Amino acid sequence: MVQTEPIIRLQNVHKTFNSHPVLRGVNLDVLPHKTTVIIGRSGCGKSVLLRHVVGLLKPDRGKVYFRKYEISALPERILARVRSRIGFLFQGGALFDSMTVRQNVCFPLEEHAIGTRAERKNRCHTVLSLVGLDGLQNQYPEELSGGQKKRVALARAIAMGPEVILYDEPTTGLDPIRADLINELIIKLQRALGTTALVVTHDMASARKVGDRIVMLDEGQLIVDTTPEGLNDIRDETVMRFIHGQASAAELAELQTEQLAANGMEPNA
């Protein structure tokens, strides 16, 4: 049986902010042409992990690889070339408000001096068609709905034909219908383009739908590595509470204490 080499590899990655450990020895191999979903509570380090993959953050300890390249040690000149092979859908979309849809989508192509003006225009048409927004090239972000902004940002993320697409909370801020549309697009693009996807989310419906593999971060470490179907067999209390959206007794007590303090009352008064 042929062993598939990972396209992304994190080895013993540690990251601390203001004396607070966020990643504590994370090891993760991401296989090509699959969708790996990272779940976990807000603030557990999911987005921090993504930023290490694309080189926006460097680990305090450990190594991050994209194919043969050690991302965490590359000089900026080479890192820029490697980044062009990785598309990144930021949580808020990060569109430029002063640019039209076409200008936003073409921005990475122009930054890397790829193609002629006509070729870039044609590429814009192609990727906007893939996300169902061809015809909106001359509109500005303020004229778009939240779901449309996400799809324009996704078109920009795939404009350069990346090998890997990173999705940071792709369904956040969207109603269930528009969120499901984004899920369908993630699946469609993975199949149509043959890309590798790494999706960070706390949306369990999205995780189950798009993921080939699901891993969970908790207190800076990976505690789950399974399939969407395998989630049903997990009996760990921390994991089950997250999956079903249930706060612990300690968390509920802490909330009650905070509410009493906000009202100027003492607990058990």
Distance CA 98, CA 107 (A): 12
Concatenating the DSSP letter of every residue in 133-192 gives -TT-TT--GGGS-HHHHHHHHHHHHHTT--SEEEEESTTTT--HHHHHHHHHHHHHHHHH
Domain carrying residue 155: 8-236
Distance CA 179, CA 165 (A): 18
CATH of the domain at 169: 3.40.50.300
* Same-domain check for residues 77 and 137: yes
pLDDT score, position 258: 63
| C-alpha 230, offset from chain centre | 22
Tokens 């419906």 appear where?
Answer: 205
- pLDDT per residue over 125-177, tens digit each? 999 998 888 888 899 999 998 888 989 999 999 998 899 999 999 988 888 99
Whether 118 is covered by a domain: the verdict is yes
* Same-domain check for residues 158 and 244: no
Distance CA 161, CA 141 (A): 23
Cβ pair 55, 72 in contact under 8 A: yes
Number of domains in the chain: 2
Q: What is the dihedral of CA 157, 160, 164, 170, to 10 degrees?
A: 10
Whether 256 is covered by a domain: the verdict is yes
Residue 41 half-sphere exposure toward CB, CA atoms < 13 A: 17
pTM: 0.86
* Same-domain check for residues 257 and 124: no
Question: Which residues of the chain fall short of a pLDDT of 70?
Answer: 1-3, 246, 248-269
Residue 15, strand partner residues? 23
Whether 62 is covered by a domain: the verdict is yes
* Same-domain check for residues 174 and 185: yes
